[in-house]
Structure 1
Amino acid sequence: MDEARAWACLMTNLLVLPGLGSLLGGRRAGWAQAALALVGFALSAVWLVWFGTAFLREGGFPLDGGPYLPVGVLGVALFAASWVWGLVTGLRLVSDSRRSDSRRI
């Protein structure tokens, strides 16, 4: 893989969906990264929907965060973990591409 494609994979991992760039770079770990990111997003969305509903119903912010706050925090943590994992995988793709480019010269 050339270095430009490796950088594109890294940026895809960071800006689009963690794991997608890894998959485009040929790394199977991308499946787990993407699954972790999507589960994290879904858990965060559950809390966000509850929060929005409570806000509309009560006419103000629910100060306690609600019963789904731990689910939302877990979701953010899972997404963050997948993002960091995608960052590491993307940086390895860039590093590997630089090594393979230097061997060609």
Structure 2
Amino acid sequence: MKFPQLDKNPDAPSRANAWACLTTNLVMPGAGSLMGGRRVGFFQLALTFVALAMTVLFGLRFIVWTLQNWSRLQDPVGDPLDTLLELWLAVRWALAGMGLFVAAVMWALTTSLSIMSRAKKHQP
């Protein structure tokens, strides 16, 4: 299988290859950009892996925290604002990881649309 040279491929991708890049970027942001010959795919993949690692690690930490504090979280007598603040402090990094993943998907989507437009311009 021949891979395109990154950023040096003078030929426009076919429409089928451009669609393959788009769908791959929706599944794993950055991989489709690399398939389309874009160096920016390396950074998109790195951002994706960082986001996934943050979400998993801090998400597991949040689950453990929730299980440890379950009875206190369900206390009807406690102050709901204090509980909400503690909940926010426990979940914020997992949500930040999810936000980074959304940012990686959006970045990869814009790259995919650029690849798609290049394929349409050079179509016979």
Looking at structure 2, the residues matched to 24 and 37 of structure 1 have their Cα atoms a distance apart, in angstroms, of: 16
> What SS does structure 2 have at the residue aligned with 1:76?
helix
Letter in 2 for 1:2: S
- Cα deviations across residues 9-62 of structure 1 (Å, max 9, x unaligned)? 001101x21000000110000000111111011111122111222344455678
Q: TM-score, normalised by structure 1?
A: 0.83
> Paired residue for 1:48, among 59, 62, 69?
59
Q: What is the TM-score when the length of structure 2 is the normalising length?
A: 0.71
Identity of aligned residues (%): 37
User: Which of 16, 27, 30 is the matching residue for 1:19?
Assistant: 30
Residue of structure 2 aligned with 1:2, choices 4, 7, 14: 14
Task: Give distance in 1, aligned partners of 2:66 and 2:103.
Answer: 29
Counterpart mapping for 1:1-105 below 5 A: 1-14=13-26, 16-58=27-69, 64-65=86-87, 67-101=89-123, 105=124
Q: CA RMSD in A?
A: 1.9
Q: Please say which structure displays the higher CA radius of gyration.
A: 2
Distance, in Å, in 2 between the alignment partners of 1:98 and 1:66 is 46
Deviation at 1:7, TM superposition (A): 0.5
Residues 55 and 95, structure 2, Cα contact 8 Å, conserved in 1: yes
Query: C-alpha distance in 2, partners of 1:71/1:59?
Result: 20
Q: What secondary structure, in the 3-state scheme, does the structure 2 residue paired with 1:49 have?
A: helix
- When you count helix as a share of all residues, which structure comes out higher? 1
- SS in structure 1 opposite 2:87? coil
Bigger mean CA offset, 68-77 vs 39-48: 68-77
Per-residue CA deviations over 1:71-99 (Å, capped at 9, x if unaligned) read 21221121111100000000111110011
